[in-house]
Chains A and B, each alone.
Chain A
Amino acid sequence: MTTQPPIVDIRNLTVSLPIGGDRRSAVEEVSLSVSKGEIVCVVGESGSGKSVTAQAIMGLLPKTFARPSGAIMFDGEDILHTSTQRLRALRGRDIGMIFQEPMTALNPVHTVGAQIDEVLRTHLSLPSDERFDRVVNAMEEVGLPDPSRLYHTFPHQLSGGQRQRVLIAAALILEPRLLIADEPTTALDVTTQAQILRQIRDLQRSRGMGILFITHDIGVVAEIADRVVVMKSGRVVESGPVHRILTRPEADYTRMLIAAVPTLHAARPEEPTQGPLALEVNGIAKTYSVRSTFGAAREVVALKPTSLTLHRGETIGVIGESGSGKSTLARCITQLIEPTAGAARLVGEAGGKPFRRRIQVVFQDPYRSLNPRRTVGQSIIEGPMNFGASKADAWAKARELMSLVGLEPKALNRYPHQFSGGQRQRISIARALAMEPEILVADEAVSALDVSVQAQVLKLIDDVQKRFNLAILFITHDLRVAAQICDRILVMHRGQLVEEGSVRAVFASPSHDYTRRLLDSIPGRQVAAAA
């Protein structure tokens, strides 16, 4: 494949950062190329410069970046130093691009059909009925059901997977020679991700285009790549054929990335030592009634009656995709929403402690779950002080917890934006622990983190569990993460508990069809198995 002339050839690309940043350039001396019919994966963690590289090709870098130096040759033409007019003609016609967030990458006020059609209107002059036919064909090709109806729908009426298909259809409708895919499946459910990856692979084979695929997920790399470029802090650390990189990595960083991918092997022993019962959930259920303008109310079942028990020192994983009801379950248990039926009961000596001191939640998004206008110290002491702790005691406790979660107690006076994502999640854990809870609910607590950081935070959760003998309810969509930290797992699907058992038992012999599908969809199973 490498004998083909490259479609895009990036030579010594350097993009400087504005002065005052934590490093001089976003990418430095990056060289890589993509040939016809080849999928090149650029892999790296946040801040590695992989997205900046991708955006530089399209000339879509935010204005804050200085003019990049080096060269980007597209079919022999330097497109880094070309006019915006020329670049605009290439975009959408010769180079297609798809993005990470299908939820926000589409304009909410135009129909999806019109947004695909916009590519045709921009680059060709065709009569409208001809354009309509081409759009419908393109939608059909990416597997969108009933395209001539879907043409007239708005983005918010479609699922994440469907929206990503719309974006792919728009990017590919003019059969570009190069597709740039910037984390296109990161925001999707694992089963949807598997379908989209297959689709991209199939379309690439039938059209022979080159793909530059940006991802942070080694599993996805294993699924789709022909060649791999590993980036770290703006530089290329290593590159080569996918098989070589995954089996015989040369750089330490690559080895670390591969090692940090959680494997599907259960990390905990089969028969855990069980503490006293901490939480008993009995037939808890949630139904929303959606009122339409004049008609009768429509019922939406978010959670069918579900029961579970959780002991001190035990971690139960609740696994499911979006819409499975796993977060509804967590919110009903923590009384953040009112269940329609059933109840969750905290078992054991309350000792006069109110409900909120006994059960605490760590949320998914460390960037948004801490109040940006308060110092992290203020956020940590708020809870204990609400329940009557003196300010001095609360601060002393906060300092102690900061060192416990591996941060400087001095940093209590800083604001959330001054911390990285992983550090913020540590602070969220400290905030939860400040209440001295018996039960910790982690709602996708590590999903937004890079794999290496994820591994550290998982270790921290494991440590604090042992230290405080916590009962943990661990909500996640990621089976690999669940395998690392859970004793038992519950699999949820469409608001229903479909499977329950020890990690080992469920992974070895999944009894429900949906669990099997989940396991099959995990990207890079081969790598995980080999590790």
Chain B
Amino acid sequence: MLAFIAKRSLAVIPVMAVVSIVVFLLLRLSPGDPALVIAGENADAASVERIRMALGLDQPLVSQFLIWIRNMLGGDLGTSIFSKLPVTELIAQRIEPTASLALATMLFAILVAVPLGTVAGATAGSWLDRTLMAVSVIGFSVPAFVLGYCMIYVFSLRLGWAPVQGFTSISEGILPFLRSIALPTVTLGLAYLVLIARITRASVLEMMGEDFIRTARAKGVSERLVITRHALRNAAIPILTVIGIGVALLISGVVVIETVFNIPGIGRLVVDAILKRDYPVIQGVILIFSAVYVLVNLAIDIGYALLDPRVRY
């Protein structure tokens, strides 16, 4: 088991290497020159050139890349072209709202979706199952920003249960924190929740037809345990897979939701950086997001092996 974990973890290194090359090239090769942007519209060629040299943009691509990699490995993601602050510091300032939102969303989605999907799968064809699945189609179809503004209208403006926008740190009390994060979490989590619920339903439903379910019933095991201990446990692999894939959904969703609810997180940071062509910031954020995605999926790979004894590579 330890050997398996070690081997899987080592496989992260080449993946991250490829990610960093792609991230680096993507931005260098895209149109738009940051030196021009910084210098402003009326600047002359000489000052643009000066800025370009100061940023190291005049050097060959390969040496730019090597410098970048070396700095990155030393924990230095560069300095923002505009705010002149280190990228790591910018990210550190903004990580709390984003991390809170992402974790809360994952927890919310999983804790609601898995039980719902399991019940729907175990009672497939019942009114409960059909209602849940019909609602889930709606949940998946509504765009996050539409849902977000609707929720703000109902729960913030009409009922006054939650703040309209902004973020309250957990250090200022658990209740204000939860109030501030509730609407963004539900908005961001709905599509994710529906995805997990549908996969859970399909997977549990498939397992309910397996021979070992009949064996368990023949042993006199109660229906609740038949569903949880036997069906759900075997259905876990596809559920885990979709949770992992869904992290990508979550990351792109964060960018939208932070804008809708005006949350000062990494999503907002990267949107601003893209508008200004602030290369170091964009690279830093993409790198962080990629690392999170890769690590979550590493955890899921290890989860496979823990859940299913047949998975040992």
Contacts and interface: CB of A to CB of B under 8 A. Distances in A.
B7 interface: yes
Interface in B207-250: 210-212, 214-222, 229-230, 233-234
Nearest to B212: A107
Which residue, of A107, A110, A294, has the highest number of chain B Cβ atoms within 10 A? A107
A105 B215 contact: yes
A294 B310 CA distance: 18
Contact of B211 (A93, A99, A154, A170): A99
Interface string A89-131: 1111100110101001111111000010011001100000000
Contacts of A472: none
Given A154-B309, A156-B309, A167-B215, A109 B233 contact: yes
B212 A118 contact: no
Nearest to B124: A63
Contacts of B307: 109
A296 interface: no
Contacts of A118: 216, 219, 221
Which residue, of B212, B218, B229, B313, has the highest number of chain A Cβ atoms within 10 A? B218
Interface residues of A, number: 31
A212 to B, nearest CB: 13
B309 A109 contact: yes
Given A293-B3, A293-B4, A91 B217 contact: yes
Given A99-B211, A107-B230, A92 B308 contact: no
Which residue, of A89, A104, A109, A110, has the highest number of chain B Cβ atoms within 10 A? A109
Nearest to B230: A107
A19 interface: no
Interface string B179-192: 00000000000000
Contact of A122 (B219, B230, B308, B310): B219
A104 B209 CA distance: 11
Contacts of B217: 58, 60, 91
Contacts of A107: 212, 215-216, 230, 233-234
Contacts of A171: 218
B308 A108 contact: yes
A92 B4 CA distance: 38
A171 to B, nearest CB: 8
A106 B234 contact: no
A474 B15 CA distance: 49
A186 to B, nearest CB: 13
Nearest to A295: B3
A516 interface: no
A118 B230 CA distance: 11
Interface string B282-313: 00000000000000000000000001111001
A105 B4 contact: no
B215 A109 contact: no
A104 B234 CA distance: 12
A24 interface: no
A104 B212 contact: yes
A101 B210 CA distance: 11
Contacts of A90: 220
A104 B210 CA distance: 7
A88 interface: yes
B85 to A, nearest CB: 45
A364 to B, nearest CB: 19
Contact of B220 (A88, A109, A293): A88
Given A89-B220, A123-B220, A293-B3, A108 B234 contact: yes
B220 A154 contact: no
Nearest to A123: B220
A88 B220 CA distance: 5
Given A60-B214, A294-B3, A109 B219 contact: no
A99 B219 contact: no
Contacts of A170: 215, 219
Contacts of B7: 293
Which residue, of B4, B7, B310, B313, has the highest number of chain A Cβ atoms within 10 A? B310
Contacts of A96: 218
B234 A91 contact: no
Given A108-B234, A109-B307, A154-B310, A92 B211 contact: no
Which residue, of B219, B234, B307, has the highest number of chain A Cβ atoms within 10 A? B219
A156 B219 contact: no
A411 B218 CA distance: 41
Given A154-B310, A294-B3, A108 B218 contact: no
Contacts of B233: 107, 109-110
A366 to B, nearest CB: 21
A123 B313 CA distance: 38
Contacts of A154: 309-310
Contacts of A101: 211
Nearest to A85: B222
A285 B5 CA distance: 36
A123 B225 CA distance: 13
A216 to B, nearest CB: 18
Contact of A109 (B3, B216, B218, B308): B308
A126 B116 CA distance: 34
Interface of B: 3-4, 7, 210-212, 214-222, 229-230, 233-234, 307-310, 313
10 contacts: A91-B217, A101-B211, A104-B210, A106-B215, A107-B215, A107-B233, A122-B222, A123-B220, A154-B310, A170-B215
Given A107-B212, A107-B216, A122-B220, 10 more contacts: A58-B217, A58-B218, A60-B217, A96-B218, A107-B233, A108-B310, A118-B216, A119-B219, A170-B215, A170-B219
* A-B residue pairs, 9 tightest by C-beta: A92-B220, A91-B220, A92-B219, A104-B211, A97-B218, A107-B212, A154-B309, A105-B211, A293-B3
Interface of A: 58, 60, 88-93, 96-97, 99, 101, 104-110, 115, 118-119, 122-123, 154, 156, 167, 170-171, 293-294
